[in-house]
Amino acid sequence: MGRVEGKVALISGGARNIGGASARALVAEGAKVVIGDLLDEEGKALADELGESARYVHLDVTSDEDWRAAVALAVAEFGKLDVLFNNAGIFNGGMLHRYKRALWQEMLDVNLTGPFLGMRAATDAMIAAGGGSIINTSSIEGLRGTPWAHGYVASKWGLTGLTKSAAMELAPHGIRVNSLHPGRISTPATDQMPEDLIPIPLGRPGTPGEVAAFVVFLASDESSFATGSEFVVDGGTINHIPTKA
């Protein structure tokens, strides 16, 4: 208990799955959280569940205005902002020669531009707080290539690179920036995928709670000397055979 006592975190895609598990884990360890999402009903329900330690805000990560409002809410309600968890993301896929430009752009808008806008909106508040931690949800696909997932792979590689450049720029302000690279994590969507689509050496998908444990670590002072780094949570997948096409 108390590993992030007194810290204030803003989570995009925070209503459920990895984001929801992370909100619960951070609050359990003493943090205050602002849950940002497009899923208003689920987000409000989670904030109600967590009580006075949580607030919900409608957050479209492609909107500058929504990001400014989310950061302002964190500061107004809890006095500061220490942690930004850029977790919102989407997936689509298709064969390269048939992959529509609109799908490509959708991937970049949400998975890459969204975190950029979040970091841009949060930086001044985090500098005012004396530093903090930014955690960007990339993917194991941000460390390798995978057929039929071109937009997703490109957006996640881009986010891995953005994490590194932001880490170097923000280090003098005491702001650490790291990327989180989950493999297959059990959610209602991924549970519909064929079991052998992504071979996992440990023999099972991960859970949102297992990823949330890394989020707490990266949000806490336990990771105080880590910045610009990749943290892989994938059951060994990245070291195994490629995903089936």
**Catalytic amino acids?**
152
d(Cα 119, Cα 25) in Å, to the nearest integer?
22
Q: Could you tell me if 35 and 74 are in contact, meaning their C-beta atoms sit under 8 angstroms apart?
A: no
* Tokens (6 digits) for 220: 């806490």
* Tokens (6 digits) for 10: 């803003």
Q: Is 139 helix (H, G, I), strand (E, B) or coil?
A: coil
Alpha helices in the chain (DSSP H): 17-28, 40-50, 64-78, 101-108, 114-128, 150-170, 208-219
Which residues, listed in sequence order, are joined to residue 132 by a DSSP beta bridge?
175
